Structure 1
Amino acid sequence: MTETIEIGAFTMEVRADGVAVVTFSRPPVNAISLSVYQDIGHFADHVASDERIKVIIITAPDDARAWCGGADLHDFKGMTAARRKERYDFINEQLPRFHKIDRPMIAAIRGATIGVGVMLAGMCDLRIVSETARFACPEVDYGLIGGSAGLLATLRMPEAKIREMVYTGRAFTAGQLEATGFFNYVVPAAAVLPLALDLGQEIARKPLQTLRARKLASLMFEGPEWMDAYMEAQEMSSSLVEAPSSEAAVHSALKGGRRR
């Protein structure tokens, strides 16, 4: 029997086998607003209290334009350095809770994964992606500094490729990034969710106590250094947000109908 739980922009289906399939749906592009960050915190709280859940698969609707389209640029209209720091303070209460979820998490990605979406994918334990899914860290295009570089380095992605992504803001297909080792599997779009479910079911047959201990051990192995680098990037990004080039880039993106 499957129970469906609604947590803001997330719909969680908790299956009898211990696999929770979580669908992130915020049309048109699954952009992350402050309200979604709050949902992420509530989601982490629910998992902590629900011992039926042994494995989490995070996906998006079949027709979604993105797995995660990055930050919602509407939140940046009229942004000041002070407001940016307040925003980061709120985000920093939510994202670490997601990162510290003590169950294995599988990112089942069939669409674009942009900005903070790359960070969320990196916080998952396994990543199964479509060959044509695109990944980008485009903060530089908005005169800002993204926070994914430290996490990607911790996950042993080649530094040269990380710097290419963060300096150019270019989008790369999963096929182009496959050699970096960031993904467990790169497969046709139709195979992503079935493969994630197969892996989830296999993992869910293990004892919950062991899975939790293994997840905590993995987090300890990562260490806190990448989060320290993320916080420092936030400070630098806050000082840049009032620059005319940043304001103009956000305005142009919104005017052109682009919403991250």
Structure 2
Amino acid sequence: MELRQLQYFVKVARKQHVTQAAEELHVAQSAVSRQIHQLEEELGLQLFVQKGRNLQLTPVGKLFLGRVEELLTGLEKAVGEIKEFLDPELGEICLGFPHSLGISLVPSVVADFRRDHPNVKFRLKMGTFSSLIRDVIRGDVDMAFISPYPENNDQVVGEVVLTEELYAILPSSHVLADYSSIRLEQLKYDSFVLFSENYSLRTIVWEACRKAGFTPIIGFEGEETDTIRGLVAAGMGVSLLPEMALTQISPLMPVKVKVTEPHVTRTIGLIRKSGHKLPIVAEMFQQFLFDYFRLR
């Protein structure tokens, strides 16, 4: 069984068509058909069945595909690790982060790191609190920014790199828009624009309102910082957002007001898989991040 056979098999399985697979592989159709035929003979089973003009995997073909993809992924990772060992500057870093950090923080730290390491590549993946932890545990990302920092999860390790203040955001027409600071309870009769339930910022805002003695009235829900900010600016309600999410200027901007009671903050952590050694280039980036935040 040859590596080429497995690569051709995966390509045909994904395209469900020998001709299209051959075009992407830049080889003759006959070469692809021959390799698939030899693979089936060696295995002693049929991997594909013809259905119209397309090929479909047999049940055992589907099983084989999953195993082959795992094998090829592992091989690709091994080759990457060897190249990185020989020259970490040619490595790739897989970084996860929540949407609210993608506005300015992640672009800033990546740009700063690449000034001294211009050949390092980045693969970025945005996610929610739970999906970022899952991505780290499964190895889909080397490390992830996350908020709040998960204190009681023994499957990930890391540290808090930043504590950030949350501000009330109000429409410019709001009666409190000219105030320099407010108590959160002053917004208890307002409609709130909140993140959806799977976002950690929603939990932080909800808990802050509870401490202020009320349950927020939910008018709108969204999944992106820009949406929350825009809805508030358009007069659809009020909300709380971290300062970092308010740095970008857009046509629709709400008014930012400091909240004094309670003082609302969120922790931002950098996590990696517990007991897992990072690739060399990822270790370099992790240390860069720790130094970056300590200096700031």
Fold shared, TM-score > 0.5 on shorter chain: no
The structure in which a higher percent of residues are helix is 1
The structure in which a higher percent of residues are strand is 2
In our comparison, the structure showing a higher alpha carbon Rg is: 2
TM-score normalised to the size of structure 2? 0.22
